[in-house]
Amino acid sequence: SGHALLAGRKAVVTAGPTHEPIDPVRYIANRSSGKQGYAIAEALARLGAETHLVSGPTALPDPAGVQVTRIETAREMLAATEAALPADIAICCAAVADWRADTSTNSKLKKDGSGQIPPLGLVENPDILATISVAGPKRPRLVVGFAAETDDVIGYATAKRQRKGCDWIVANDVSPGTGIMGGDDNTVHLITAGDPEHWDPMPKAQVAMKLAERVADALTDKQ
């Protein structure tokens, strides 16, 4: 579109899963495709924002007009996201692994035939959304998180907005059967300081464009 509603703005977007190594050949991961986050980065760039996408491992090509940093772990994602600040807008779409192995080893774990199972200890990963939402000189003016829920979507998403300290939460229902995880369509609710907004089901690319336009409105205080 010819409308450079976000010209002169800087945006950072996280997307995809993270991979947390257990040993050189094994890792903890999840089923995030990265589709929604990539679409959002592309939409922000199309509206003229200088857009930096920090992505975990995905099968997707780099979106047009976007600077992409590919990382593997949550800790790498946090470092790359912080390196992309200051920015006006941060949108955290990534499905960051909540935990990583406490002892990632450089040697492959071996089955020794004794039936002994190696203990897998976990430690918590940093929360990127919560970290960049903390007030400070580098906090983006608008920080947006995502919430994938299966029950009481609005209730949990509203609580998540408070807990994370972000400005908006884009909430979706990922119950089995919705086809949202890995699918091309999305049904979302936008949780702001005001009343929740319920958006019709639409392709992820359209969710992205509508969200980018809402972001532009918010930054121009048009409401």
31 vs 85, 94, 168, CA distance in Å?
28, 11, 24
CB of 198 to ligand C5P, least distance (A): 19
The smaller minimum CB distance to ligand C5P, of residues 87 and 147, is found at: 147
CB of 194 to ligand C5P, least distance (A): 20
Catalytic residue among 30, 125, 172, 186: 30
Question: Does residue 74 bind ligand C5P (CB under 6 A)?
Answer: yes
Considering only 5, 49, 80, 96, the residue that binds ligand C5P (CB under 6 A) is: 96
The smaller minimum CB distance to ligand C5P, of residues 85 and 109, is found at: 85
36 vs 22, 26, 99, 108, 122, CA distance in Å?
28, 26, 23, 34, 28
Residue 51, judged by CB atoms within 10 A of its CB (0-12, 13-18, 19+), counts as buried
Please choose, out of 45-53, 127-135, 172-180, 201-209, the segment that lies near ligand C5P by the rule CB under 6 A.
127-135
Residue 219 identity (one-letter amino acid): L
Closest of 57, 60, 23 to residue 38, by C-alpha: 60
Task: Using CB under 6 A, list all residues that contact ligand C5P.
Answer: 14, 74, 92-94, 96, 125, 127-129, 145-147, 160
